[in-house]
A and B are shown apart, each in its own frame.
Chain A
């Protein structure tokens, strides 16, 4: 997949990858981007162009590691981005899945295993909420104070387990769904879960490849001050 740079037109990037719309929204850019390049849009919006490019390139490319991740990016901006992402999950994507899922349950018979899948979804939702709560109450505040947060492994493994559960939920729908159900509503649920799963995996990449190197650097600098 092609990498975007500051001379690339943002409209071209979004037209090729519509999933970027929610990402640029979280970075403070709204649709109606005109014909401008990423560099000029970022300049006008007061956004660090290198950071913007690292986020969208990491989001889109599984094999991309931002070269600047240990360097000049603002920790605050990265946290702000991930915080906005969590809000998007909690306020938009999870309620959206829930709404479709509840309609699906109401409009489908009782001869299926949707109840088990709904239970699995609820479990995943609780774990996601726990991860976000830990991020918001412990992880980000600690980083904002310049301190390496406790339980770093717990944070990483928690998000990775949510990612696995999202994958499994999709897989259960596709492979193990039995009995009668409303097909249109089922497609709506699967599409919404699919969108969240993609977004979540891609944002875990951003967390692991942009934020964690910063935390690592912070840890080394703490160790340097102590010695």
Chain B
């Protein structure tokens, strides 16, 4: 079953950091973003959030909460603190975009049956089958090319099909085109 939407909580970020992350999540389909100044403000609403983008300081101060939820958490902080899901001051824009996109996709996948495509993925698949390239798909759906690449990757993983013409065949077999 697909989630209606994914709620991402931004906790303890500076105004600029929060604006940047919020802007990058605009590309994602059915994502609700809620900003909290710090953990005490967030705490009463913690159950309503599906994923967390949190400052390093806030992460360290609230390890009891974030460590068990590490796979749903992206930390924002100093470059010296290297981590798998860390956004630093000099992180590349496309890396951040991929990181956030993967975070949201992984949440959706955890709720879906393998092979179930989201509405957005079906739209991307339909356009792949129509022979459109990534840039054309991005323009048509008003999303970034990086997001299209991320959707393509997820579609291939879910369906087990690697080639573009294989994806077209799948779309044809399943009445998507």
Contacts and interface: CB of A to CB of B under 8 A. Distances in A.
Interface of A: 113, 116, 120, 123, 161, 164-165, 167-169, 171-172, 175-176
Interface of B: 160-163, 165-166, 169-170, 172-173
Tell me whether chain B's interface is mostly helix, strand or loop, or mixed.
helix
A120 B171 CA distance: 13
A187 B170 CA distance: 21
A215 B163 CA distance: 27
Contacts of A171: 160-161, 166
Contacts of A123: 165
A167 B162 contact: yes
Given A113-B173, A176-B170, A176-B173, A165 B160 contact: no
Contacts of A165: 163, 165-166
Contact of A164 (B163, B170, B172): B163
Contacts of B165: 120, 123, 165, 168
26 contacts: A113-B173, A116-B172, A116-B173, A120-B165, A120-B166, A120-B169, A123-B165, A164-B163, A165-B163, A165-B165, A165-B166, A167-B162, A167-B163, A168-B161, A168-B162, A168-B163, A168-B166, A168-B169, A169-B166, A171-B160, A171-B161, A172-B166, A172-B169, A172-B170, A175-B160, A176-B173
